């Protein structure tokens, strides 16, 4: 009868409003949770019978309405490793399920999150506040490009950066055409152990011509070697080059100058040295033949060094970690060097709201969400990476309080229906007395 139908509908209303109240309570309790996505309530009517002449009371069902695609406020953080996503996408993360010899063992399942409050743990992994490990594409040591075939937890090694022996020295300077005295400059050269050695380049003008005798001395050599070469400019070169530009070399001792005299070809001098760690080949780059760059000879009385540099580096200690806008994770060393160890990708889905929610603001894919598409930052519909920031919860407290009042009123109204239906049933039962 209709009284039972009214009571059944009201009771379903109580149940649905209770679920709505639970969602509101969960949203309010997580209003400050980083990366949390609120759960709204979607009410759906169930019909038992409906026609042009008859409508029998049915019921209502409350279903969760997820808001995984709605972004929270992006807020700047004091943590330089904190990350936020401006737009669509998720971070790929791993969950630890145990240890083996002190090293973490990871769950084979893939997890995703928007909670980007990452920091380095004691083992050098990037872990967020919920304990999930950030994953990225490892960098190929040979090509320097990311290996997009696999995702691995990003681990930062704080070991010493290996030294690099000097193989090339670049000199850009002007030898004063009016000078009658020798001029010199120095450059540090590193051996394979990262030890620094001083090389002195001395230029002595040849009287009455646009030529200079250059000598290279390195007192730290195992066997001190004499290295000299005559550098010819302008009309003194064979063939002549443009005035003031380097044209050719001659009278080389202990060095091998470049043989080409074609304008635009490299002008360089190669030699081998030994600081006790074996032979070390070095090339001194002096610019280009016939071009006003590198080593030149123009008017003046002062030797002017514009630039002198070399490619060797001493050993370097870990000095910090930085993340680029493209997702590159870079280790910085105190010797001025840096090394990219991984690239952070984004993961997108056809229907992110259909993802399975897990503890710690994490998600798993479902058949309804579609396949996980791993892509570069800011490509194929993925958002941009905001470094040094976090994404706050997308809960609006004022809106939740409004929904709370509505749910309370609706719940109270349904209790009145139950009470009234019960009283009417009692009256019906008492009719026979």
CATH code of the domain covering residue 191: 2.60.98.20
State the Rg of the chain over Cα: 37
119 lies in the same domain as 252 = no
Question: Residue 167 above 90 pLDDT?
Answer: yes
Give the tens place of pLDDT for each residue, 177-210. 988 899 999 999 999 999 999 999 999 999 888 9
Asked if 313 and 334 count as a contact pair (C-beta separation under 8 A), the reply is: no
Query: How large is the average pLDDT for residues 346-350?
Result: 97
Which domain, by its residues, includes 295? 168-310
pLDDT at 254: 95
For residue 162, tell me if it sits in a domain: no
379 lies in the same domain as 302 = no
Query: How large is the average pLDDT for residues 282-306?
Result: 93
38 lies in the same domain as 172 = no
User: What are 320's strand-pairing partners?
Assistant: 332
Classify burial at 39, counting beta carbons within 10 Å of its beta carbon; exposed 0-12, middle 13-18, buried 19 or more: buried
Residues 6+ apart with CB under 8 A from 158: 124, 318
Residue with tokens 């040591």: 141
82 lies in the same domain as 52 = no
> Token digits for 19?
């679920």
Smallest CA-to-CA distance from 148 within 411, 347, 11, 389 is with 347
The confidence band for 7, taking pLDDT boundaries of 50, 70 and 90, is confident
Query: How large is the average pLDDT for residues 384-400?
Result: 97
Give the tens place of pLDDT for each residue, 55-79. 777 789 999 999 999 999 999 999 9
For residue 62, tell me if it sits in a domain: yes
For residue 321, tell me if it sits in a domain: no
What is the domain count for the chain? 3
> Token digits for 172?
């850009």
pLDDT at 433: 62
142 lies in the same domain as 22 = no
Question: Residue 134 above 80 pLDDT?
Answer: yes
Rounded Cα distance, 257 and 76, in Å: 56
89 lies in the same domain as 179 = no
Give the tens place of pLDDT for each residue, 110-132. 999 999 999 999 999 999 999 99
Query: How large is the average pLDDT for residues 3-20?
Result: 87
Average pLDDT, the chain: 93
384 lies in the same domain as 426 = no
Asked if 93 and 128 count as a contact pair (C-beta separation under 8 A), the reply is: yes
Interior angle at CA 46, CA 41 and CA 51, nearest 5: 140
User: What are 90's strand-pairing partners?
Assistant: 347
Q: What are phi and psi of 76, to 5 degrees?
A: -65, 145
pLDDT at 70: 95
């Amino acid at each position: 009868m209709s009284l039972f139908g009214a009571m059944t509908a009201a009771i379903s209303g109580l149940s649905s409003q209770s679920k709505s109240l639970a969602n509101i309570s969960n949203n309010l309790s997580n209003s400050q949770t980083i990366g949390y996505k609120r759960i709204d309530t979607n009410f759906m009517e169930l019909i038992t019978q409906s026609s042009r002449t008859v409508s029998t009371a049915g019921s209502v069902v409350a279903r969760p309405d997820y808001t995984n695609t709605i972004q929270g406020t992006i807020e700047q953080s004091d943590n330089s490793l904190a990350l936020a996503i401006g737009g669509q996408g998720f971070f790929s993360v791993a969950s630890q399920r145990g240890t083996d010899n002190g090293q973490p063992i990871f769950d084979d399942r893939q997890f995703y999150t928007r909670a980007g409050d990452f920091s380095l743990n004691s083992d050098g992994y990037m872990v967020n506040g919920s304990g999930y490990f950030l994953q990225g594409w490892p960098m190929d040591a040979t090509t320097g490009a990311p290996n997009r075939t696999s995702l691995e937890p990003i681990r930062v090694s704080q070991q010493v950066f290996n030294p690099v022996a000097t193989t090339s020295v670049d000199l850009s300077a002007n030898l004063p055409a009016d000078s009658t005295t020798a001029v010199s400059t120095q450059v540090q050269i590193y051996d394979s152990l990262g030890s620094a050695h001083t090389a002195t380049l001395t230029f002595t003008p040849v009287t009455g011509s646009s030529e200079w005798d250059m000598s290279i001395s390195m007192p730290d050599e195992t066997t001190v070697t004499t290295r000299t070469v005559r550098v010819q400019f302008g009309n003194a070169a064979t063939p002549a080059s443009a005035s003031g530009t380097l044209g050719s070399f001659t009278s080389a001792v202990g060095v091998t100058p470049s043989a080409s005299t074609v304008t635009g070809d490299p002008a360089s001098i190669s030699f081998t040295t030994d600081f006790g760690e074996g032979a070390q080949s070095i090339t001194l780059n002096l610019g280009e033949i016939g071009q006003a760059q590198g080593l030149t000879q123009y008017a003046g009385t002062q030797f002017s060094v514009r630039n002198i540099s070399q490619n060797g580096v001493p050993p370097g200690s870990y000095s910090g970690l930085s993340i680029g806008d493209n997702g590159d994770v870079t280790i910085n060393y105190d010797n001025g060097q840096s090394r990219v160890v991984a690239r952070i990708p984004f993961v997108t889905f056809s229907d992110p709201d259909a993802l399975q929610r897990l503890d710690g603001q994490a998600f798993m894919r479902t058949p309804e969400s579609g396949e996980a598409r791993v892509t570069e930052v800011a490509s194929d519909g993925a958002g941009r990476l905001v470094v040094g920031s976090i994404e706050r919860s997308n809960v609006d407290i004022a809106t939740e309080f409004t929904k709370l009042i509505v749910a309370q009123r609706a719940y109270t109204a349904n209790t009145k229906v139950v009470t009234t239906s019960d009283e009417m049933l009692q009256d019906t039962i008492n009719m026979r007395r």
